[in-house]
């Protein structure tokens, strides 16, 4: 990723989203821009117009935390956007040799794998920063059965969202899922601008999906913590599930996601039915494999 271009476009996109009225500034005469002018952002941030212009051209080298905070306040950035700005500044200040050093690919520790596989009644999985599913218990594999059935997805949930027609059937709120997925990739690109495999994934999706390309151009960011997802599973029907995503502090870029349903709900019954279907399918696959051998 081009850090300077990313920084420049991100700052301009945030500036364009704020009206003078939202910023508490008076409006005189006709304006050619709907958002703030550079001079107005500079005034709100307490820096010169020349200095802000330098920042918006993508040069964050040597910028202090105080200036970043002032800029975030002037642009009314939320917590995720503020963190993204700091990630961009950190990448800009990294030495080239260190920034381009290719990190070792993270691996799932056996203890983490045992925990995921030891939760039989809830879908649980481990993903890396590119949203590849590295480990999934049987119920998670059953939940994402259509993704696993499509070899082109390569067990990657974002690739599934944008490249598989089945995703639009599986996710009841596909548009929200798609926007969140792009925003999460944007955050990862800011954190790891020299991650070649991440850049390759973004390039692939930009080339093959018009929707991804449009959403990527919006420069919105998103971080997964927890929430709800509504599934329309081809076997068990509607599943309104809650999820928690927990990063593994000792394993850079890895996170565990667990889905659950409140007790006594239709979704809880659906998960039980999904578990039964998963077990039956596994028995059938085992019998088929034994017959072939």
- d(CA 198, CA 202) in angstroms, rounded, equals 6
One digit per residue, pLDDT tens: the chain, 293 residues?
A: 688 999 999 999 999 999 998 888 888 777 777 799 999 999 999 999 999 999 999 999 999 999 999 999 999 999 999 999 999 999 988 765 555 555 566 789 999 999 999 999 999 999 999 999 999 999 999 999 999 999 999 999 999 999 999 999 999 999 999 999 999 999 999 988 889 999 999 999 999 999 999 999 999 999 998 999 999 999 999 999 999 999 998 777 899 999 999 999 999 999 999 999 999 876 445 545 445 54
Alpha helices in 171-209 (DSSP H): 174-191, 196-208
Domain 3-100: give its CATH architecture: Orthogonal Bundle (1.10)
pLDDT of residue 284: 46
pLDDT of residue 292: 57
pLDDT of residue 287: 43
b/e 253-282 (16+ beta carbons within 10 angstroms → b): bbbbbbbbbeeeeebbebbeebbebbeeee
The residues spanned by each domain of the chain are 3-100, 110-292
Lookup: tokens for 68: 């970043």
pLDDT of residue 136: 97
b/e 156-187 (16+ beta carbons within 10 angstroms → b): bbbbbbbbbebbeebbeebeebbbbbbbbbbb
Phi, psi of 152 (to 5 degrees): -70, -25
pTM equals: 0.87
On whether the 110-292 domain is CATH 3.30.70.660, my answer is: no
């Amino acid at each position: 990723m081009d850090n300077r271009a990313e920084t420049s476009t991100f700052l301009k996109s945030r500036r364009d989203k704020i009206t003078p009225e939202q910023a508490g500034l008076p409006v005189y005469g006709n304006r050619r821009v709907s958002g703030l002018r550079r001079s107005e952002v500079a005034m709100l941030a307490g820096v010169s117009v020349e200095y802000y212009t330098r920042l918006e051209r993508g040069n964050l080298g040597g910028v202090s935390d105080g200036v970043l905070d002032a800029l975030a306040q002037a642009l009314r950035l939320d917590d995720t956007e503020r963190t993204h700005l700091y990630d961009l500044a950190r990448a800009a200040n990294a030495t080239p040799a260190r920034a381009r050093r290719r990190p070792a690919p993270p691996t799932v520790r056996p203890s983490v794998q045992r925990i995921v596989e030891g939760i039989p009644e809830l879908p649980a999985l481990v993903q890396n920063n590119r949203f590849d599913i590295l480990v999934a218990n049987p119920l998670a594999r059953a939940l994402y059965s259509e993704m696993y059935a499509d070899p082109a997805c390569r067990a990657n949930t974002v690739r599934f969202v944008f490249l598989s027609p089945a995703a639009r059937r599986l996710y009841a709120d596909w548009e929200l899922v798609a926007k969140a997925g792009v925003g999460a990739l944007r955050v990862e690109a800011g954190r790891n601008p020299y991650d070649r495999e991440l850049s390759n994934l973004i390039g692939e999706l930009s080339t093959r999906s018009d929707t991804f390309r449009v959403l990527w151009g919006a420069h919105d960011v998103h971080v997964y913590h927890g929430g709800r997802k509504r599934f329309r599973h081809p076997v068990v029907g509607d599943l309104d599930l809650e999820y928690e995503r927990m990063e593994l502090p000792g394993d850079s870029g890895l996170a565990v996601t667990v889905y659950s349903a409140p007790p006594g709900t239709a979704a809880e019954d659906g998960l039980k039915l999904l578990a039964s279907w998963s077990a039956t399918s596994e028995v059938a696959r085992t019998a088929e494999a034994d017959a072939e051998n």
